[in-house]
Amino acid sequence: GARQTWVRFEPRAAGQSLDSYGGRPDGAAVDQEGCYWVAMYEGQRLLRLSPEGQVLKEVKLPVSCPTMPTFGGADLRTLYITTASDGRPAEERAAQPWAGCVLQMRVEVPGWAPHQLKL
């Protein structure tokens, strides 16, 4: 289909910076309302952004470095989040036993089923 912009993020715009979001955007997934779930690497959280770029939800996580959310489960209402531990300071790894694991959480709005590609 036609290309569509989900979120326009301009960090240098007035009143907006990467620091205001805590960490930096890493992997992301889109739910059935067109909202963008983004992992904030070194920000210890996930953000759910509207198609217009407004933060609708902020989810604090028990790890500093979430990397990639993806939808799964029979109803696509389970959000799985990969996390990083490699290269992180020893003190951080000791304090965050879930770092390097896959986290999961239930969400109200389901994600999209994967598309099959036939080559």
10: pLDDT confidence band, cut at 50, 70 and 90?
low
Q: First and final CA of the chain: distance in angstroms?
A: 18
Our answer to whether residue 26 is catalytic in this structure is yes
Tell me the two tokens of residue 83. 């996390």
Domain boundaries, the chain: 21-106
Task: Considering the candidates 26, 31, 75, 86, report the single residue annotated as catalytic.
Answer: 26
CB atoms within 10 A of CB 3: 4
pTM greater than the 0.85 cutoff: no
Q: Could you tell me the fold of the domain covering 21-106?
A: Thrombin, subunit H (2.40.10)
pLDDT for position 17: 46
**Is position 86 annotated in a ligand binding site?**
no
Is the pLDDT at 16 greater than 50? The verdict is no
Residues of the chain above pLDDT 90, percent = 55
